[in-house]
Amino acid sequence: MYNNNNGANQNGRSSQYSGGNNGYNSASAPSRAMTLPENYVDEAERIMQIITQNNNSITTSKIRRIYNLICEIYNTENLSCDSQLAPESKTALNMARVRIAYEAGRDGKVKDFTDKTHIIEYIKGINSRENFINFARYMEALIAYHKFYGGKEN
- Distance, CA of 60 to CA of 91 (rounded, Å): 26
Burial of 70 (0-12, 13-18, 19+ CB in 10 A): buried
Q: Is residue 27 a part of any domain in this protein?
A: no
Phi, psi of 79 (to 5 degrees): -85, -15
Q: Is residue 66 a part of any domain in this protein?
A: yes
What is the tally of structural domains in the chain?
A: 1
Residue 18 has pLDDT above 50, yes or no: no
Q: Is residue 5 a part of any domain in this protein?
A: no
- Give the Å distances, CA to CA, from 125 to 1, 49, 84, 151: 47, 24, 13, 28
Q: Is residue 4 a part of any domain in this protein?
A: no
pLDDT tens-digit series, residues 27-57? 556 789 999 999 999 999 999 999 999 877 8
Domain range for residue 109? 40-148
Residue 115 has pLDDT above 90, yes or no: yes
Please give the pLDDT value at position 148.
94
More confident residue, 153 or 29: 153
Q: Is residue 92 a part of any domain in this protein?
A: yes
Please give the pLDDT value at position 30.
75
> Across all residues in the chain, what is the average pLDDT?
85
- Distance, CA of 67 to CA of 117 (rounded, Å): 13
- Distance, CA of 74 to CA of 21 (rounded, Å): 34
Whether 137 and 36 have beta carbons less than 8 Å apart is answered as: no
Q: Is residue 14 a part of any domain in this protein?
A: no
pLDDT tens-digit series, residues 50-95? 999 987 789 999 999 999 999 999 999 999 999 999 999 999 999 9
Mean pLDDT of 110-132: 96
Q: Is residue 9 a part of any domain in this protein?
A: no
